[in-house]
Structure formats: C-alpha cells, structure tokens
A and B are shown apart, each in its own frame.
Chain A
Amino acid sequence: MNFNRDRVRSIGWMFVLMVCLGLTLVLMVRVNAMKSQVRLAERQLVALKREKVFLETEFETRSNQQQLRALNDVEFGYSAPTAGQYLSGERQLASLGKAAAPDAPAPIRVASAMADNSGPFPAMVSPLSGKAMAAEPDGKPSNRKPVDTASLSRRLSRIPAQEVIRE
C-alpha cells in the first residue's frame, strides 16, 4: 500500500464528502419528519375546527330565538325593562344616594320577619310514616344579636382568609 500525499488528500476529501452527505441525509430525514408532524397537526386542526363548527351550529340551533322565547315563556317570564328602570347618567345615579329633602315623602319601609324571635321550626315529618325524620330544633332563643349598623359593618369587614387568597 503506497499512500502518497495526493492520495491521502483525496481520501480525506472523500471522507469529508461522505460525512457531509450523511449529515445532509440525516437533516433531510429530520426535516421530512417535522413536515409530516406539521401535516398531522394540520389534519387534527381541520378535524377540530370542523367539530367546533358542528358544535357551534348545534348550540346556535338549540339556543335559537324561538327556543329562547319558549324557554322564557315557560320558565322566566322576563319582559323588556321599562323606562323607569334606566338611569340617564352618573348624575342620576349619584342623586340616589343623596339625603332626602326636608319636605320629601317618607321612604317606604318594607317589613321583614325576624327569624330569631319566631318559635321552633316544625321538624321534617315523613309523608309515609308520619314520624319526625329529624330532631326538632330546641325552642331556646338563639344568642345571635339583632343586626344593627355597627354589627353589620363589623361582619362585612371580616373577610375570611381563604377569600382574600383567592382574590
């Protein structure tokens, strides 16, 4: 075996060429693998988009105006708000908090039942046997204080710890 300088050089070039070819081959394979992945993702996208359109159409059909109207007629009975339910602007909103004028009519007070003063609740009775299904609450008056402005503000300012964290 006679390795002269030229021969070694050409073998070296061949080797470099082979390495380059190999690397190119690897790169091409990787590129095509990536392309296939993209194509697969595209196909999934198309399928998902089609499903989305399908679901959206189903939702639109089930919640169409006529269905909503029928639901409102049966369940809620909402009607369009009247002029009195609208505020014309910030000024009118602010006026709601103003103190009543000296000659203004007294505001209507709404009576409320005081649950604390009422007697014990009747216990739940089984409709079949007629027997009490739970113990009757005791008739003792609770030790809850009646709500006044000070106690209410105290209660409202007492924010539970977990709520603070959540917000």
Chain B
Amino acid sequence: MNAVSVTATIAPGRRQLVNVRRELLLTAKMRVVWLLVLFAVIAATALFRIALLGVLQPASSSQSMHDALLPPRGDIVDRNGIPLARAFPAYSLWFNPKAMGDGGSPLVRSPAEVAAALVHIFPDEDLAKLTARLASGEAGYLKRRILPEEANRVHALGEPALESPFENERLYPQGSMAAHVLGFVAADGHGRVGMEQVFDKQLTDPVARAVPSVLSLDTRVQGALEEELYRGMRDSQAKGAAGIVLDVDTGEVLALASLPGFDPNLINNAGAANIFNRMSNQVYELGSVMKPITVAAAIDGGVVTNLAQRYPAGAPLKIGGFEIHDDENFGPSLNVPEALVHSSNIVLAQVGDRLGGHALRQTMTSLGFNERPYIELPARGMPLWPRSQDGGEWSRITTMTVSFGHGIAISPLHLACAYAALVNGGVWRPATLLKVDPGHIPAGRRVFRAATSARMRQLLRMIVADGTGRKANAAGFRVGGKTGSAEKPGAHGYQKRSLITTFAAAFPMDHPRYVVLVTLDEPQGTTATSGQRTAAWNAAPVVGRVIPRIGPTLGIMPDETRDIDISDISPLVGNGNGG
C-alpha cells in the first residue's frame, strides 16, 4: 500500500520517464532475444549441414578415375608399345585484345615492351613481327604448344590480354618419322592421310579410345630405314625415295617410308607438298625387278624345266616393229640364271613369250597387280594394267614387255608383297599395318609352288652374291634380291636420264623372314655413287646398309658360316660366252 501511495506522490512527468525506460529495456531485451534466435538458427543450420555432410554421401564426383584418364583421342603405338601419336594437353598463347573490357589499349604496357618480354621467354620468336602483331590488335594465336613453365612466365607478365588456354593437341613424339603411315589430325579434330584417318572412328570412340591402337611398325626399324633412305637419296641427289620392310610370313609392315617427308606436328605448305606417298600411291614401271616374277611363273608353269637351257641374246629381239635391247651385250646366248644375274631383257622376253600372255597375266593377277594394293592406308595407287586385246588376253608384244617389267606400272608396295610371296614358299598375303596376332595370320593365296619358291631363293641369292646386287650383300645376312633401273616415260618416249631405281631384297635367304625394298626417284650419277645412276649403285647400297642395322633388332643374327646352298646353280653362271 505504501508503494502505491509513493507512486501516487510521483509527479506525472517522472512517471512518464519510467515508462519510456521500461519500453526501451523491453526493446533491448527483445533485440537480444532475436539476435540469440538468429545465432541459434545459424548454428543449427551449420550443425545440420555438418551432420548432412557426415552422414549422407558428399556430392558424388562428376567423373570416375577411368573417365578422368580417358584421352580425348586414343593413342597410336608401334608394335612394342612406343607411342607414335598421343593426345597431349598443352597450353597455347592466345592474344585477346578485348580482355581489358574498357575499350582502351589492349595491353598495359606498350606492344614493344610486351613483345620484348615475350621474346625473352620464347627466344625463337621474331621481335619485329611480334610487336606488329600485338600492335595490330587482332585476336589470334601468338604461339601453339607452350610448356607449363613458359605459360607461368607469360602469366607473370601481368598482361590480361595474353591468355594461355589449355588445349588438347595431337603430339607425334617421333617427329616426322613414319609421317605417311600416321597422317595427322586436322583442325576439325578428324584424322587425315594415314592411320589417323583410318582409325578415326575408334580413336574418338569413348569406349575404344581408352586402349591404344597398335600398329605393326617397329620404331627402330622405321628409324633405320628412314635414315639410310635419306642418306641414299642425298648421296644420289634423287628427287624422292621410298622404302618398306615387310614380314614375309604375316604381311606386317615393319617400316614404311616415303621421302621427302613432312612433320605431322606442323602441317604447313612445305609439308603439305610431301604428303603424297610414293610407296603405296605412286605407280611406276619398275623394270628389271619384275624379272624374277616372270621366271618364277615360267618355272611354275613348266616352261623353264632346265635352268641350263640357253636362249639367244647376242642381237636385239625384233617383234612386230619393236626392238628389245639389253644394256650391253652379254654374249651370244644366256641361260636363265645368267639372264637374271646380268638382267637381260632379250632372254626374259623369250621366256615370257614361251610362257604366254595368259599364264603371265594370271600370275600377275594373283599377285594383285591389277588392283589397288592391299593396305589400310587411304592413299593407294591404281596400277596401270596393260590393255587386253579382243579376246581378253594380252598381245604378244605386251606379254614380252611385261615379262621384263615394262608396260605395266605398279606401286612399290605391290612389288614388296609379290617378293614376299616369291620367297616365303609361294603364298601371297595382303600387306597390313596392324599388328598380327600369331594365331591369326591370314591364310593368303598360293601363287607359286613351294619348290618354285625354293628355286627363286637360290636365284635371288645368286644375284646378290655374284650379280648386280653385290653392294647389298651385307656380310652374314644371306641377302637375296634383284635390282631394277627403269627409265621414266616422258612426253617423247622413255627418258634416258630419268630413272626409277629399285632394289627388292629378302633376308636371310636360307629362311626368309623380311622383304626390304628401296626405290629412288630420278637418282643422279654423283661421286658417292661412282658416277652411276643405276640401282646397283644407289638402291642396292641402301639395302646393304639397312639390313645390318635392322637384322639383329629383328632377331636375325649375322652368321657367315650359314648360307643357302646355291652349289647346284652356280656352275650355270659362266662368263657370258656360253661357258
């Protein structure tokens, strides 16, 4: 009661003050409560989130490890797993003048200063060109494929206009090696020219691209072949060269080269001119290298039953207005081994004539000379197959010219496959750039009898041991082969000074494993080739240098104590005078 009386005595103004204070206190308390509630909600949310993260699955990662490691385009490897083409994430240097976004100068510093700094990072760049490029203000690549440390150094320049986007490039670690087999990847992401084009589907397929595509090539063999081919081309100042190493039993191509080559890492105008493949796409009249095929067909067909039988060779052979010559007169008569050793057109024309157009044509058809070569490459040349007469057969003169390798133009690849059939027991198999599983060797088709093939091995060995192929006789490797120097046809008939020289060889002749074929386009007589321009002086030495390099790599050790037995035919080769 006292309190009431006291309150009643308080002046009205003071009472009002107390009310205000109470209201203020209430508001402050309410605010504190609200703040507490807010903190509580935040804490609860955080706890809930932590519980959620701990109890439930964290956000599933967008891709599995397999997906992360899947290359954007599959690798291509050689038969031993050495990468030949690989998807390679690389930085490039892109100039983006709009990066600043203020419409002013694209660069912080002057173009000359930036260019000088860039040249400091990339010493092979041209300062003046780079300055002009930066000053022009046009967007574009300044450089493709820069190293990560270079990208870091560019970033450190502090120029927003210099961007280094991460791009998936195609890298060919071996440079220009096997460029014609591999091809390249164009800007649209699809392969061109070689196996890049052939494998395009499986290299881009999400499932198949995880596994590298295996080629039959052997990098070491390819390197040796290219190097020696290049040396032979340089020594003889030839326009071009082509070479192949082929497994005679499976048809696998261990090396295939066409020079001059190109670098698939950098396709420019100079490189684009060399994309043409001389091995599979260009057809040539290969000349004398075809002679062993005619002889094999004649032995197979029962026309040549006695190798000692002599054929007149002293004078040019006149057939219906044409004359068939030899390079030199080897004597009044020659037998078949002598004709091969001396490469006599006159005798081979007679052998072909006796064999007849039908049989010769059939042999060449079974060797695939009338169709494009069998290989996976898209660049395959159509042979120039001699025209038939009304009855579908070749004329007599055609048969005779074809029998010594003229009047028919085939690619060197055709010839390599034919030589494989000639020495492997007589079975023709298509050439392939895919590694062949030992259990899945193609059956092929029989062209020659096994006995004929054995005889041909002796004859080919004799040509290298005693004939025109002596410069290919690598000691201990039992090389056998045949030279061929054909004149190129021009506007006014055959050109005496433009030759196609070929050496087709196989080794080791006691059990042939590989065919090595080398072709040079328009070799010149130089000091290195003793002033000669025929195959014996330029193509044969290349083979003679390639075989000792690749033989041990391929498991063929040189052995001078072993050789194919040619004692039964070597007495047949005399001095050319019928002796």
A interface residues with partner B (beta carbon < 8 Å): 25, 28-29, 32-33, 35-36, 39, 42-43, 45-46, 49-50, 53-54, 56-57, 60-61, 64-66, 68-69, 80-84, 86, 88
A83's partner among B57, B61, B475, B549 (CB-CB below 8 A) is: B475
- Residue contacts A-B, CB under 8 angstroms, 18 given: A28-B54, A29-B54, A33-B54, A35-B57, A42-B65, A57-B83, A57-B86, A60-B82, A60-B83, A60-B173, A61-B171, A65-B174, A66-B174, A80-B548, A80-B549, A82-B558, A84-B560, A88-B557
User: Is the pair A57, B171 in contact by a Cβ cutoff of 8 Å?
Assistant: yes
Chain A positions within 8 Å of B53 at CB level? 32
Report Cα–Cα, A53/B53, bound state, in Å. Answer: 35
Instruction: Decide yes or no whether B220 CB sits under 8 A from chain A.
Output: yes
Closest A residue by C-beta to B84: A60
Contacts A28-B54, A57-B88, A81-B552: A66 and B559 contacting too (C-beta < 8 A)?
no
Chain A positions within 8 Å of B371 at CB level? none
Instruction: Decide yes or no whether B58 CB sits under 8 A from chain A.
Output: yes
Instruction: Kindly provide the distance from the CB of A23 to the nearest chain B CB, expressed in whole angstroms.
Output: 13
Report Cα–Cα, A60/B171, bound state, in Å. Answer: 11
Chain B positions within 8 Å of A29 at CB level? 54-55
Report Cα–Cα, A46/B177, bound state, in Å. Answer: 30
User: Is the pair A88, B57 in contact by a Cβ cutoff of 8 Å?
Assistant: no
User: Is the pair A66, B176 in contact by a Cβ cutoff of 8 Å?
Assistant: yes
User: Is the pair A61, B557 in contact by a Cβ cutoff of 8 Å?
Assistant: no
Instruction: Kindly provide the distance from the CB of B231 to the nearest chain A CB, expressed in whole angstroms.
Output: 11
Among the interface residues A33, A56, A65, A69, which one has the most CB atoms of the partner chain B within 10 A? A65
Closest B residue by C-beta to A28: B55
Closest B residue by C-beta to A29: B54
User: Is the pair A66, B549 in contact by a Cβ cutoff of 8 Å?
Assistant: no
User: Is the pair A39, B557 in contact by a Cβ cutoff of 8 Å?
Assistant: no
Chain A positions within 8 Å of B56 at CB level? 32
Chain B positions within 8 Å of A66 at CB level? 174-177, 223
User: Is the pair A82, B548 in contact by a Cβ cutoff of 8 Å?
Assistant: yes
Report Cα–Cα, A54/B68, bound state, in Å. Answer: 15
Report Cα–Cα, A88/B561, bound state, in Å. Answer: 9
Report Cα–Cα, A69/B83, bound state, in Å. Answer: 18
User: Is the pair B86, A65 in contact by a Cβ cutoff of 8 Å?
Assistant: no
Contacts A50-B69, A83-B558: A64 and B174 contacting too (C-beta < 8 A)?
yes
Instruction: Kindly provide the distance from the CB of B181 to the nearest chain A CB, expressed in whole angstroms.
Output: 14
Closest B residue by C-beta to A53: B86
A46's partner among B65, B220, B222 (CB-CB below 8 A) is: B65
Interface mask (B524-558 → A, CB under 8 Å = 1, otherwise 0): 00000000000000000000000011001000011
Instruction: Decide yes or no whether B314 CB sits under 8 A from chain A.
Output: no
Chain A positions within 8 Å of B200 at CB level? none
Closest B residue by C-beta to A64: B174
User: Is the pair A46, B68 in contact by a Cβ cutoff of 8 Å?
Assistant: yes
Among the interface residues B54, B56, B477, B559, which one has the most CB atoms of the partner chain A within 10 A? B54
Chain A positions within 8 Å of B65 at CB level? 42, 45-46
Instruction: Decide yes or no whether B301 CB sits under 8 A from chain A.
Output: no
Report Cα–Cα, A80/B559, bound state, in Å. Answer: 14
B interface residues with partner A (beta carbon < 8 Å): 53-58, 61, 65, 68-69, 82-83, 86, 88-89, 171, 173-177, 219-220, 222-223, 226-227, 475-477, 548-549, 552, 557-561
Contacts A64-B173, A64-B177: A86 and B54 contacting too (C-beta < 8 A)?
no
User: Is the pair A61, B177 in contact by a Cβ cutoff of 8 Å?
Assistant: no
Closest B residue by C-beta to A87: B557
Among the interface residues A43, A45, A49, A66, which one has the most CB atoms of the partner chain B within 10 A? A66
User: Is the pair B476, A83 in contact by a Cβ cutoff of 8 Å?
Assistant: yes
Chain B positions within 8 Å of A42 at CB level? 61, 65
Report Cα–Cα, A29/B176, bound state, in Å. Answer: 56
User: Is the pair B57, A32 in contact by a Cβ cutoff of 8 Å?
Assistant: yes
B557's partner among A32, A36, A57, A86 (CB-CB below 8 A) is: A86
Report Cα–Cα, A25/B47, bound state, in Å. Answer: 14
Chain B positions within 8 Å of A35 at CB level? 57-58
Report Cα–Cα, A132/B350, bound state, in Å. Answer: 86
Instruction: Kindly provide the distance from the CB of B281 to the nearest chain A CB, expressed in whole angstroms.
Output: 24
Instruction: Kindly provide the distance from the CB of A66 to the nearest chain B CB, expressed in whole angstroms.
Output: 5
Closest A residue by C-beta to B55: A28
Report Cα–Cα, A56/B87, bound state, in Å. Answer: 12
Closest A residue by C-beta to B88: A57
Report Cα–Cα, A164/B558, bound state, in Å. Answer: 40
Instruction: Kindly provide the distance from the CB of A29 to the nearest chain B CB, expressed in whole angstroms.
Output: 4
Chain A positions within 8 Å of B549 at CB level? 80
Report Cα–Cα, A39/B173, bound state, in Å. Answer: 33
User: Is the pair A65, B475 in contact by a Cβ cutoff of 8 Å?
Assistant: no
B476's partner among A33, A60, A86 (CB-CB below 8 A) is: A86
Contacts A28-B55, A32-B57, A32-B58: A65 and B223 contacting too (C-beta < 8 A)?
yes
Instruction: Kindly provide the distance from the CB of A27 to the nearest chain B CB, expressed in whole angstroms.
Output: 10
Report Cα–Cα, A88/B562, bound state, in Å. Answer: 10
User: Is the pair B559, A32 in contact by a Cβ cutoff of 8 Å?
Assistant: no
Instruction: Kindly provide the distance from the CB of A160 to the nearest chain B CB, expressed in whole angstroms.
Output: 38
User: Is the pair A64, B175 in contact by a Cβ cutoff of 8 Å?
Assistant: yes
User: Sorted from nearest, which 8 A-B pairs have the closest CB atoms?
Assistant: A83-B476, A65-B223, A83-B558, A60-B173, A29-B54, A61-B173, A80-B548, A80-B549
Instruction: Kindly provide the distance from the CB of B487 to the nearest chain A CB, expressed in whole angstroms.
Output: 34
Report Cα–Cα, A50/B175, bound state, in Å. Answer: 22
User: Is the pair A65, B177 in contact by a Cβ cutoff of 8 Å?
Assistant: yes
Chain A positions within 8 Å of B177 at CB level? 64-66
Chain A positions within 8 Å of B476 at CB level? 82-83, 86
User: Is the pair A25, B55 in contact by a Cβ cutoff of 8 Å?
Assistant: yes
Other 6 A-B pairs with CB < 8 A, given A65-B177, A65-B220: A32-B55, A45-B65, A65-B223, A69-B223, A83-B476, A86-B476
